[in-house]
């Protein structure tokens, strides 16, 4: 026979058992009463001693009193909710009490936990005590009727101060009624405890914690997509460089050798045209490879790649780029294509006679500016957001999107009469960084 599969664990939305619910609500009573006394003492003593130095630590303790209570509540919540509630507090940036206090006082969750402590001390635990106390009073009074009759010694006992039981059969009948009513009255406590757990989770799990986690995951996924895209670009570049380009080089050399053999005139003309077509195709595929991912960027880094762009530009370009070390490949690629697109726009639309590329890395960010002495007046594409393009196209939109994935930005300044300045900023951790 097949063995039965184990039952799955209860979900966050499941209802706890009556015993767990009653125990959860019952433990709120002593915890809430202690919290109420502590808050009143801290508030009273801190206010009375506010004129003295000793009153400030008391008031500060009052503000931070929600932190230990919230930590205890997160543990106590496991009685009825199997899903753990994460601690929303972040680690202080430096060791020491001062850093810890500064971090905690700046966190919104600290103030939410203080609000929860006040709500718990003045509202929640009295209501929970009323719910559990009603069940215990009714069922305990019924079940304890024979005991009260035996202790009284006069053969009678008052049941819940409502009627008088004056015989043992009647007393035991009341006891049976209490035993029967006990599970019926504790059953609603399950839903009371569940509602209390939902409220606790809502107050002690700030929405911004989940939102920050989601944003961080989206950033990581976007970075992974960029890395995968760059890897695919390098694969295509490598395949073209090692495959199609080498075949075209061999074909061009073969056609050149065939022309040297002095063939018949009609065949010589065909060989000449074929040689020219092969040479043109070779030039085009080399440009295509360079546009996909230039070898100089991979081999020698960003500065050498930008200098190579300057050498191939139809307009003289001065490069004053200071990068102390190799950067992350995604950063180098994004900056390279941003400068390439800016130089292309300058050559096509600005009427400039000279371009200057300047940049430096400082304080963990790389700032690069491309400035020309052209006519200016370039405008950003209205639908492109922060990505300017003098032609009204969307060439720089893709560049701006690539930079935004890395936490950077692309800006443009182009008053009439010039100069036009394309400026980009991007975080630049070193290439060996794992961040």
pLDDT at residue 418, rounded to an integer = 76
Instruction: Give the largest CA-CA distance in the chain.
Output: 140
pLDDT at residue 286, rounded to an integer = 65
Q: Is the pTM of this model over 0.75?
A: no
Q: Which residues pair with 424 in a beta bridge?
A: 368, 410
For 254-312, write each residue's pLDDT tens digit. Answer: 767 676 666 666 666 666 777 677 777 766 666 666 556 677 787 788 888 889 888 88
Which regions of the chain are under pLDDT 50?
1-13, 381-394, 434-435
Query: How many other CB atoms are there within 10 angstroms of residue 395's CB atom?
Result: 20
- Helix, strand, coil percentages in the chain from 3-state DSSP, rounded to 5: 65, 10, 25
Rg over CA atoms, the chain: 39
- The CATH number that domain 297-427 falls under is 3.30.565.10
CA trace torsion 389, 393, 399, 405 (10° rounding)? 110
pLDDT at residue 8, rounded to an integer = 38
Q: What would the two tokens of residue 275 be?
A: 């040689």
Distances (CA, A) of 425 to 150, 237, 366, 387: 87, 27, 6, 13
Residues 6+ apart with CB under 8 A from 177: 142
By DSSP bridging, strand 365-372 and strand 355-362 are antiparallel
Query: How many other CB atoms are there within 10 angstroms of residue 342's CB atom?
Result: 31
Residue 241 CA to residue 48 CA, distance in Å, equals: 81
Residue 403 CA to residue 226 CA, distance in Å, equals: 10
> 338 with 368: CB under 8 angstroms?
yes
Residues 6+ apart with CB under 8 A from 269: none
pLDDT at residue 355, rounded to an integer = 92
Query: How many other CB atoms are there within 10 angstroms of residue 301's CB atom?
Result: 17
Comparing CA positions, the residue from 310, 324, 399 lying closest to residue 355 is 310
Q: Percent of the chain scored above 70 by pLDDT?
A: 71
Residue 412 CA to residue 171 CA, distance in Å, equals: 91
Residue 267 CA to residue 111 CA, distance in Å, equals: 89
DSSP H/E element including 169: helix 168-204
Query: How many other CB atoms are there within 10 angstroms of residue 287's CB atom?
Result: 11
Give the residue extent of every domain in the chain.
Answer: 18-204, 221-292, 297-427
pLDDT at residue 143, rounded to an integer = 80
Residue 70 CA to residue 373 CA, distance in Å, equals: 62
């Amino acid at each position: 026979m097949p063995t039965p599969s184990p039952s799955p664990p209860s979900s966050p939305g499941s209802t706890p058992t009556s015993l767990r619910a009653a125990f959860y609500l019952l433990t709120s009573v002593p915890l809430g009463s202690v919290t109420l006394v502590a808050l009143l003492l801290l508030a009273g003593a801190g206010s009375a001693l506010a004129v003295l130095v000793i009153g400030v630590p008391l008031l500060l303790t009052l503000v931070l009193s929600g932190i230990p209570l919230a930590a205890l509540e997160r543990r106590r919540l496991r009685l009825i909710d199997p899903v753990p509630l994460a601690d929303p507090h972040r680690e202080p940036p430096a060791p020491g009490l001062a850093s810890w206090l500064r971090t905690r006082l700046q966190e919104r969750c600290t103030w939410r936990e203080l609000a929860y402590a006040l709500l718990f001390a003045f509202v929640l635990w009295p209501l929970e005590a009323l719910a559990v106390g009603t069940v215990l009073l009714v069922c305990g009074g019924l079940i304890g009727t024979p005991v009260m009759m035996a202790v009284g010694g006069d053969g009678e006992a008052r049941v819940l101060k409502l009627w008088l039981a004056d015989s043992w059969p009647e007393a035991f009948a009341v006891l049976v009624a209490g035993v029967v009513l006990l599970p019926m009255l504790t059953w609603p406590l399950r839903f009371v405890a569940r509602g209390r757990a939902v409220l606790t989770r809502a107050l002690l799990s700030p929405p911004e914690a989940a939102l920050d986690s989601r944003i961080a995951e989206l950033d990581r996924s976007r970075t992974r997509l960029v890395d995968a895209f760059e890897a695919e670009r390098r694969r295509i570049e490598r395949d073209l460089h090692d495959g199609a380009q080498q075949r075209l080089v061999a074909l061009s050399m073969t056609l050149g050798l065939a022309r040297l053999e002095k063939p018949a005139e009609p065949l010589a003309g065909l060989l000449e045209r074929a040689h020219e077509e092969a040479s043109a195709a070779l030039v085009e595929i080399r440009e295509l490879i360079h546009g996909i991912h230039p070898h100089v960027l991979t081999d020698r880094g960003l500065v050498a790649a930008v200098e190579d762009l300057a050498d191939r530009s139809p307009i003289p370009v001065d490069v004053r780029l200071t990068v102390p070390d190799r950067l992350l490949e995604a950063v180098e690629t994004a900056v390279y294509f941003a400068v390439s697109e800016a130089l292309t726009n300058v050559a096509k639309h600005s009427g400039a006679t000279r371009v200057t590329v300047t940049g430096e890395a400082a304080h963990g960010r790389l700032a690069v500016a491309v400035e020309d002495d052209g006519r200016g007046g370039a405008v950003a594409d209205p639908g492109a957001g922060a990505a300017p393009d003098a032609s009204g196209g969307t060439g720089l939109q893709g560049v701006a999107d690539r930079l935004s994935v890395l936490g950077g930005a692309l800006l443009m300044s182009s008053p009439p009469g010039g100069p036009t300045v394309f400026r980009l900023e991007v975080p630049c951790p070193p290439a060996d960084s794992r961040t």
